[in-house]
Amino acid sequence: MRGFVPPDPETSVSQTHFAVVHAPHRRRRRFPAALITLAEGPEEAVRLAQQDADRHAAEVLGPSKSSEGQFLYYLVRWLEEA
């Protein structure tokens, strides 16, 4: 994927997760960990996202530590919220 370092296949530091992203728009491709709520699966992520207009269900990769010391999650894909 473009925009981030791929995960190391020999470790499990960064993994894909289903999550709810708290963001007013879906334009960004990376998010601070404080804006992410991990979910058990895609159905739970969609259900939790429907509780607030600024929350969106997604599949994310992370956490990854930025050069500034923040933990980030990278967008893999948005999930349908219908």
Interval 71-81: pLDDT, tens: 999 999 999 75
Q: Give pLDDT, residue 1.
A: 53
Query: Do 74 and 1 contact (CB within 8 A), yes or no?
Result: yes
Q: How many Cα neighbours within 13 Å face the side chain of 53?
A: 1
Q: DSSP 3-state assignment of 31?
A: strand
Q: Residue 2 pLDDT > 90, yes or no? A: no
CA–CA–CA angle 25, 66, 58 (5° rounding): 35
Q: Please write the tens of the pLDDT for every residue from 8-34.
A: 555 666 889 999 999 988 889 999 999
Strand partners, 20: 37, 57
